Amino acid sequence: MRDEVSLNRRALLGAVSVAATATAMAAGAATAQAPTSLAGKSVLITGSSAGFGRLTALHLAGLGATVIASMRNLDGGRRAEAVSLLQEAKGLSGKVHLVEIDVTKPEQIKSGVAQAERIAGGGLDVLLNNAGIGISGPMELQDDAALELQMQTNLLGSLRMARAVLPGMRARRAGLIVPVSSQLGRIIMPNIGAYCSSKWGLEAAFEAMAYELAPLGVEVTIVQPGGYPTRIWESGSRTVEAMFARNEPERLQAYAQHVAMTRASMRAPRGADPMDIPRAVAELMALPAGQRPLRRPVHPNTTLSTAVNKAMAGFQAQALGQGPFAPWHSAVTT
């Protein structure tokens, strides 16, 4: 986060007191202005077939960015979602390119990122780690297959993507990684604990990465959406039902109330505008290096996530505000 005078945090690598750091973190990030142009910026987006990924690809291309939209099962560009995305992107000021990346497949990440960097003409400006899946249900019903899929997609896939793009970013001493977390990356709710676990892990890993990258010129901003009406609930519902079907009847009967609550939650209406996410990402991209916040909650109601972020920022300041990590902590939080 930045302070009121908008000092470049790469210039603030001196240690600061715990009290001063906590005050700066509590102040929050200044409201960013909606950008009018992102011409000259390159961004690789995972999970671009639908939802936040597709909307963000089109929004950023509309602002002039070079967008490399990745998705699974591209089928040589014949996948219906790929064809419609390119069709919708025609006439935008920026260009949308397609690459095939399944974030659970390391070799596909390696080849897809290499292709994206060729399109961008070098190291990428931005990685938007958007690919994700939501598998609800009580923890006892989360079998190995469900846990593996959720952790591979939401956590390990994002870390693999970051590892793949970082050499190019570090070589330029510039770049921004934006992992898409969730309000449930800071708050724990029953019947969605495995999803919370994947997002809590994401939050921890990328906050640590933000500190580690501070002296190397690369930034991290964790976006924290609330509930939005996207296809994650539709695809998640199918995956949840398959998981339920793999469970023994005795377990399902024991958790009958939980199962009913899970199904109702997956079908619940969500009225917030999913374009909030593309607009937030565009604003982050447009901010000068050194002025981007560590976290950006996005939803009409961010009360809980903002409160948790503020409390945890204070604890982090106490833990890191003095000693060998103080310069890195200061660089990320002031």
Question: Where in the sequence numbering do the catalytic residues fall?
Answer: 195
**CB neighbour list of residue 103: distance below 8 Å, 6 or more residues apart:** 46, 47, 109, 131, 152, 153, 156, 157, 158, 160, 161
Q: Residue 198, Cα to own-chain centre: how many angstroms?
A: 12
228 close to 182: Cβ distance less than 8 angstroms: no
Q: Residue 274, Cα to own-chain centre: how many angstroms?
A: 14
Which class for 220: exposed (0-12), middle (13-18), buried (19 or more C-beta within 10 A)? Answer: buried
Q: CB-hemisphere CA count at 13 Å for 215?
A: 9
- Number of Cβ within 10 Å of residue 259's Cβ equals 22
Cα–Cα distance measured from residue 218 to residue 282, given in angstroms and rounded to the nearest whole number: 17
DSSP secondary structure code for residue 142 in this structure:
-
